[in-house]
Amino acid sequence: MNTIEIRGLRLAVRLGVPDAERALRQCVEMDVTLVPLSDFEEMGDDLSLTVDYQAVAQSIRNQCETGEWRLIEKLAIDVAGEVLNRHQVRMVTLEIRKQILPGTDHVAVRLTRGVS
């Protein structure tokens, strides 16, 4: 399977269960793995057949800047849906990391979604 990866995308998001936690944007980090509609061999060197990863990153940033979520799981579902609906991908895997628990590196969720 051919994949394109965006690693360590840093995002400012209103995220958290208590209102006070969502009052200020907090930094989360996201890894995005994309499976394009076309295999790399089919693409050749045709830019129109690949995934515009800059556009993917920007659409994720825009979504995170304008939304608000209580659960990191719901953030993952919403972002995956947006990526699948707006970009030339057949599958997306997200890992979202949030530094919230003392004594840990981070809490993370991983989600994979695809088009039928």
Average pLDDT, the chain: 96
The CATH code for residues 4-114 is 3.30.1130.10
DSSP, collapsed to helix, strand or coil, labels residue 62 as helix
How does pLDDT run across 17-46, given as a tens digit for each residue? 999 999 999 999 999 999 999 999 999 999
The confidence band for 101, taking pLDDT boundaries of 50, 70 and 90, is: confident
pTM of this prediction? 0.93
CB-side neighbour CA atoms (13 Å) of 14: 13
